[in-house]
Chain A
Amino acid sequence: MMSYSSVNLDGLSQKLINAYQKGFPVCSRPFLQLAERFNCSEQEVIECLEQLQQQKILSRLGPVLDHKKAGASTLAALAVPAEQLDEIAEIVNKFEQVNHNYAREHDYNLWFVATAADAEGLKQCLTNIHQQTGFEPLVLPMEKAYHIDLGFEINFSDHHGEKL
């Protein structure tokens, strides 16, 4: 088994993850609302989320933005020789505009998402990445969203034997 299976979450963590990847309450005491739903205290909810954050399971509690409405954004890829991949990935990582950056199995093996306040800023960022890495990005902006990421249900049962 992989090391990830050592992460063993309590019932409250599991419920929070599967119930609130979307629709988190926007009201004065949101954690109290969650606590009432799950029959625990407001402080327990907050501590649970803090713990998830410390475990680096919770990236953040907040909005996922519509890329088109929030600014300019694109998926891009570089085709990098395997032995240079880590080095080039670190150069790309240094750009504040880059948020996701993954190695994937293809000739185009470094895939990243860049965001900026406007199209001009995005173009400049991609030009800089080209110049600093020596590789020309394949630029693949979203043209139409058919289905957007709204979070998905985590199956906690198959490696801990504990169901919700």
Chain B
Amino acid sequence: MMAQPLMSELQSSHLTVEQYSQLFTAIESGLPLVAQPYLALAEQIGASEEQVIETIKEWQQQGLIRRFGLVIHHRKLGYVANAMVVWDVANEDIERVAELLSQQKVVTLCYRRPRFLPHWPYNLFCMIHGKNRAQVLAQLDEICRVNKLQTIDKKVLFSYKAYKQRGGRYSNTQLNKSATSTAATTTRNK
């Protein structure tokens, strides 16, 4: 067991600018799988465990971190049908349609993006993950039927090969070069 931190360390969660960016870089690659992962990160950047914990909590409160936990490769668990459904929704109707789609249990993500006419008329994107193509298409049909969205022009873009899948890295400096090697999977499904 590690010694308890001093009170003076507990009183301040403020990291230096450098430590702040080092922590950000380190955490992007994931927590080390040790009993005290925040302490391990703290030792990497020369801070206390409390400072690291407080800083991560601040990032969560600020919304910089939108979820914190296990990031899963769904394909490995049989979720090989990954459909990006793109919709060409009238601008005045987009909020309503987006809210309806967002409420669907199988929809994991729903974003508005710009059109690029004439090549790309679609302005609303949602994702559906399923175990096979037929299941996803059936779920989509059901969503359209129940919510009366059949008249909206849409396309279903299934993925058929994953060339790269990992978390985004925003930091300029790479603290853990070794940990950032790309998990390039070339998994054919279908």
Q: A residues engaging B (CB < 8 A)? A: 2, 4-5, 7, 9, 16-17, 20-24, 26-32, 42, 46, 49-50, 52-53, 55-67, 69-71, 73, 75, 89-90, 92-93, 96-106, 108, 111-113, 115-117, 138, 140-152, 154-156, 158-159
Inter-chain CA distance A57–B77, complex, in Å, is 7
Say whether B60 contacts A90, CB under 8 Å: no
Measured CB to CB, the nearest residue on chain A to B130 is A155
Say whether B59 contacts A99, CB under 8 Å: no
Q: B129 CB to closest chain A CB, in angstroms?
A: 7
Inter-chain CA distance A144–B101, complex, in Å, is 14
How many A-B pairs have beta carbons closer than 8 Å: the answer is: 261
Say whether A53 contacts B112, CB under 8 Å: no
Select one of A55, A96, A140 contacting B76, CB under 8 A.
A55
Select one of A7, A64, A146 contacting B102, CB under 8 A.
A146
Q: With a CB–CB cut-off of 8 A, which chain B residues contact A145? A: 110-111
**How many residues of B are in contact with the other chain, CB < 8 A?**
83
Select one of A97, A116, A146 contacting B101, CB under 8 A.
A146
Main secondary structure of the interface of A (DSSP, over half): mixed
Say whether B80 contacts A4, CB under 8 Å: yes
Say whether B27 contacts A62, CB under 8 Å: yes
Say whether A59 contacts B183, CB under 8 Å: yes
Tell me whether B155 is interfacial, beta carbon within 8 Å: yes
Q: With a CB–CB cut-off of 8 A, which chain A residues contact B75? A: 4
Tell me whether B53 is interfacial, beta carbon within 8 Å: yes
Q: With a CB–CB cut-off of 8 A, which chain A residues contact B72? A: 17, 21, 57-59, 151, 154
Q: Known contacts being A62-B30, A151-B72, is A31 close to B35, with CB within 8 Å?
A: yes
Q: Known contacts being A63-B28, A67-B168, is A154 close to B33, with CB within 8 Å?
A: no
Select one of B31, B84, B116 contacting A104, CB under 8 A.
B84
Inter-chain CA distance A53–B39, complex, in Å, is 21
Q: Which stretch, B6-14, B136-144, B146-154, B156-164, touches the partner chain A?
A: B156-164
Measured CB to CB, the nearest residue on chain A to B127 is A149
Measured CB to CB, the nearest residue on chain B to A108 is B120
Say whether A62 contacts B31, CB under 8 Å: yes
Say whether B35 contacts A46, CB under 8 Å: yes
Say whether B171 contacts A117, CB under 8 Å: yes
Q: Known contacts being A70-B168, A146-B99, is A102 close to B162, with CB within 8 Å?
A: yes
Say whether A22 contacts B69, CB under 8 Å: yes
Inter-chain CA distance A92–B184, complex, in Å, is 12
Interface residues of B in 25-70 (CB under 8 A from A): 27-31, 33-39, 49, 53, 56-57, 59-60, 62-70
Select one of B82, B114, B158, B165 contacting A141, CB under 8 A.
B114
Inter-chain CA distance A98–B164, complex, in Å, is 8
Measured CB to CB, the nearest residue on chain B to A148 is B66
Say whether A146 contacts B110, CB under 8 Å: yes
Measured CB to CB, the nearest residue on chain B to A46 is B33
Extra contacts besides A63-B59, A103-B159, A146-B112 (10): CB < 8 Å:
A4-B77, A24-B70, A28-B53, A46-B34, A46-B35, A60-B31, A75-B113, A93-B164, A103-B160, A149-B67
Say whether B33 contacts A49, CB under 8 Å: yes
Measured CB to CB, the nearest residue on chain B to A160 is B78
Inter-chain CA distance A97–B171, complex, in Å, is 10
Inter-chain CA distance A106–B75, complex, in Å, is 21
